[in-house]
Amino acid sequence: MSQQTILIIEDERSIADALAYNLQKDGFEVITSTDGQDGLRRAQAALPDLIILDLMLPIIDGMEVCRQLRSDSRTRHIRIVMLTAKSEEVDEIVGFSMGADDYVTKPFKIKPLVSRIKAILRRPTSKNSAQDSASCRGVFVDRINHRTTIEGEEIALTPTEFKLLWTLVRQAGRPFRRNELMDTCRGEDANALERTIDVHIRSLRQKLNDAGDLIETVRGVGYRFKPE
């Protein structure tokens, strides 16, 4: 298997150096950049497997970098993990709406973030897995605009609930183990998130109202979305 490449676009040198050191130690090839303009140029030239993208960057901010990456057919499917010092939920929603695959707030622990990156890189890389929307049984999920509708009526979901529903609907009928669902969600404390997957699913079912029954419990495994 060829070595996977990660591009770090981060203007705080101490963070970039720590991430680069730990990722290289785990066998990744690492490229670093300290501003948005240079980072965008390096992304277009190197086409890395994943980009760690800071939100607050000089010259071009991280949101604009993400927008340009997602609008370019060459870079559209590169995985993006967005870093920010902000923590408001609205910032997470904006980050996901721009096409970020995950969203991590500073300060964060390096090792859990590296584990998170590995989990993201384990996901399928086919173009079908990177599609922008999915629907099944009247439930429609728009990943780019972060919108969910049931029979045309929009419902509000938290970022975690949205990513869980996106995963389940996109592969309706497939049973997902709890740890697989955990891999789709944001967060640094993987063990804590795994223990609360059932809580998130319960909340998601309630928000889906009658359509909540479409999220089926698979005994001894986890959950699946009932197929057509």
Residue 224 pLDDT exceeds 90: yes
Note whether 152 and 118 are same-domain residues.
Answer: no
Identify the domain containing residue 178 by its residue range: 131-225
User: Could you give the number of structural domains in the chain?
Assistant: 2
pLDDT band at 185 (very low <50, low <70, confident <90, very high): low
The CATH number for 215's domain is 1.10.10.10
Residue 194 pLDDT exceeds 80: no
| H or E element in which residue 195 lies | helix 190-208
Note whether 113 and 164 are same-domain residues.
Answer: no
| Choice between 59 and 120, residue whose per-residue pLDDT is larger | 59
| Choice between 155 and 181, residue whose per-residue pLDDT is larger | 155
Residue 124 pLDDT exceeds 70: no
Note whether 136 and 114 are same-domain residues.
Answer: no
Note whether 221 and 202 are same-domain residues.
Answer: yes
- Predicted pLDDT of residue 129: 42
pLDDT band at 128 (very low <50, low <70, confident <90, very high): very low
Note whether 118 and 137 are same-domain residues.
Answer: no
- Predicted pLDDT of residue 127: 45
Which of 38, 66, 179 has the alpha carbon at shortest distance from 118? 179
Percentage of the chain modeled with pLDDT above 90: 39
* Paired strand residues for 133: 142
Note whether 155 and 96 are same-domain residues.
Answer: no
Note whether 116 and 138 are same-domain residues.
Answer: no
Residue 172 pLDDT exceeds 90: no
**What length is written for the chain?**
228
Which of 110, 44, 105 has the alpha carbon at shortest distance from 78? 44
Residue range 177-185: average pLDDT? 74
Q: b/e string for 135-145 if b means 16 or more Cβ within 10 A?
A: ebeebbbbbee
Note whether 113 and 146 are same-domain residues.
Answer: no
Predicted confidence (pLDDT) per residue in 40-81, tens digit: 999 988 889 999 999 889 999 988 898 888 888 788 889 999
Residue range 110-131: average pLDDT? 73
Among 92, 122, 152, the domain boundary falls at 122
Residue 104 pLDDT exceeds 70: yes
- Predicted pLDDT of residue 190: 45
Residue range 142-146: average pLDDT? 78
The CATH number for 13's domain is 3.40.50.2300
Note whether 146 and 73 are same-domain residues.
Answer: no
- Predicted pLDDT of residue 195: 66
- Predicted pLDDT of residue 54: 92
Note whether 71 and 11 are same-domain residues.
Answer: yes
Among 105, 122, 139, the domain boundary falls at 122
Note whether 98 and 19 are same-domain residues.
Answer: yes
Note whether 66 and 141 are same-domain residues.
Answer: no
Using alpha carbons only, give the angle 79, 11, 118 rounded to the nearest 5 degrees: 30
